[in-house]
Amino acid sequence: MSYDYSGYGASTGKPSEFNTYYDIEAVYNCLRSDYGIKQEELILYGQSVGSGPTLHMASRLKRLRGVVLHSAILSGIRVLYPVKMTLWFDIFKNIDKIRHVNSKVLVIHGTKDHIVDLSHGKRLWELAKEKYDPLWVKGGGHCNLETYPEYIKHLRKFINAMEKLSLTNPPPKQLTNEPSVTETKHSRCLRFRKR
Q: Which of 14, 75, 78, 73 is nearest to 46 (CA)?
A: 73
- What is the Cα–Cα distance from 90 to 78, expressed in whole angstroms? 9
- What is the Cα–Cα distance from 10 to 164, expressed in whole angstroms? 36
- What is the Cα–Cα distance from 193 to 180, expressed in whole angstroms? 27
The CATH code belonging to domain 17-168 is 3.40.50.1820
pLDDT of residue 195: 40
Spans in the chain with pLDDT lower than 70: 166-195
Q: In angstroms, how far is CA 156 from the centroid of its own chain?
A: 17
Q: Confirm if 115 and 65 have CB atoms less than 8 A apart.
A: no
Residues annotated as catalytic (active site), given as ranges:
48, 113, 142
β-pair partners for 66 = 43, 104
Cα separations (Å) of 146 from 108, 140, 151, 172?
A: 10, 9, 6, 32
pLDDT of residue 193: 41
Query: Per residue in 28-46, pLDDT tens?
Result: 999 999 999 999 999 999 9
Secondary structure element (H or E) that encloses residue 194, with its range? none
Q: Confirm if 94 and 55 have CB atoms less than 8 A apart.
A: yes
pTM, entire model: 0.86
User: Domain-by-domain residue ranges, the chain?
Assistant: 17-168
pLDDT of residue 173: 57
- 10 Å CB burial of residue 195 (0-12, 13-18, 19+) is exposed
